[in-house]
Structure formats: structure tokens, C-alpha cells
Amino acid sequence: MKFFVDTADLSEIKELAATGLLDGVTTNPSLVAKSGHSNFIELIREITAIVEGPVSAEVASTDYATMMGEAQTLAKIADNIAVKVPLTPAGLKVCKNLSSNGTMVNVTLCFSAAQAILAAKAGATFVSPFVGRLDDIGQSGMDLIADICAIYGAYSSFDTQVLVASVRSPMHVVDAARMGADVATIPPSVIRQLFKHPLTDKGLAQFVEDWKKTGQTIPV
């Protein structure tokens, strides 16, 4: 499974990219606002220079004509741009036009298997089901992932990748991987939680203490 980081924070992206664990980046208007960056286009351009994999940049409008114009502007920023559009009739129309021309498209705000089918038929590169937001309203986000993976797997003509979004915990990541999702886009804080286990910390502390007792050092 590929790991994308869900942030517009350049320092976070640089740090995680250096680990070799990062396959791409997703952004959205909320994350851009949170970053405090005053130039959206320049911010996205900087991100595409840091990460070789797909960088999702979202349109800001909701009507087809304006959305299409914005999408074309975003697609010109770099070859690794995935234009992010909402799962609406206008958004899927933009998706169809872009994907027909070879542009990567991330269809976002997916909350049902029916919507995911529409995204695949429109030629989306990625569909982004929001598991955490479904959990928030008492529905099972991971059940949706299982349904979409099963449906996509039944049709060889569907090339759309399942990009698990609104990830809230390491278990969301593990469950998504178990179900065969292609990508998880994960907040930096949750990526760091994936490293954590009390037995790892305990074992490392013991190793360090035992090594001190030998009085030795390893030349560097």
C-alpha cells in the first residue's frame, strides 16, 4: 500500500520525504489555509519539487466551467499533479475531460460505494472515501473501503485506485491495508504513531543500558 501524507506543511513534507516512506501528498483548501501560505500555486509547486509521486491539488469552485479552468491551471504546475475534484456531477464531468487527456484526477468527498462506481466510470485515477467522517456519524468507514475494493476488484475495466482518506488512527491504516486499498493518505501525526509500540521502546532502552555496561563504542 502506498503512503501519501495529508498536509500542506512544507516542513512536515520534507521531513517525511527524507524517510523514504512517502509516495505522494494530498492537500485540500482546509489544509492550505492551515499552512498559512499566502500563494497557493507557489505552495503546490514547492510540494511537487519535494515529492516525486502524485500531489493532489484541489479546485476551489463548484460549477463546471470555472472548475475546469482551475483544473487546467493546476495541471500545468507539474507532471505529478493530481487534480482533486469533488464527487458531484460537475466534478465528474471535469474528471472525465481531464482523465481523457492523461491528467491524474483524485475524486474526493466519497461517502458511498455508489459514488465510488461513478468515479471509476468517469476515469478517476484515485477515489477518496472519507472513513473518519463516516465513523463520526455512526457509520463504518472501513466497511465502505471493503465494499469499494470488492466492487473494483470485480471489474478489470476499473483502474481507479482506492485512496483511503480522513484517516484517524494506525488501525485505519492497518485495516485499509488488510482490505487491499491502494493508498492511504495519512496526517503526519498518525504516520508517527505507526512507529510506536511500548515493547519497542522497552527493548531499545534495555539494549542501550546493556551496551553502556560494556564500556565500548563503535567508531564512526
d(CA 101, CA 96): 9
- Answer for the pair 113, 119: CB distance below 8 angstroms, yes or no: no
| Distance of alpha carbon 41 from alpha carbon 48, whole angstroms | 11
Catalytic residue among 84, 96, 196, 202: 84
Residue 108 bridge partners (DSSP): 86
Active site residue 202: no
DSSP conformation letters of 6-65: E---HHHHHHHHTTT---EEE--HHHHHHHT-S-HHHHHHHHHHH-SS-EEEE----SHH
User: Residue 139 and residue 204: Cα distance in Å, rounded?
Assistant: 39
170 close to 187: Cβ distance less than 8 angstroms: no
Check if the beta carbon of residue 207 is closer than 8 Å to that of residue 46.
no
Amino acid type, 146: A
Kindly list the catalytic residues: 84
